[in-house]
Amino acid sequence: MVPNPLALIVEVTHRCPLHCVYCSNPLELAGVQSELSTAEWTSVFQQSGKLGMLHAHFTGGEPLARTDLTELIAAARSAGSILQRTSDSGC
Ligand code: SF4
Average pLDDT, the chain: 85
Q: What is the pLDDT of residues 20-55, one digit of tens each?
A: 888 877 666 556 778 999 999 999 999 999 998 889
Does the pLDDT value for residue 9 go beyond 70? Answer: yes
With the most atoms of ligand 1 within 8 angstroms of its CB, the residue from 9, 16, 64, 87 to mutate is 16
Is the separation of the CB atoms in 73 and 83 below 8 Å?
yes
Q: How far is the CA of 91 from the centre of ligand 1 (A)?
A: 6
Cis peptide before 90 (omega within 30 of 0): no
To the question of pTM greater than 0.75 for the whole model, the response is yes
Is the separation of the CB atoms in 24 and 50 below 8 Å?
no
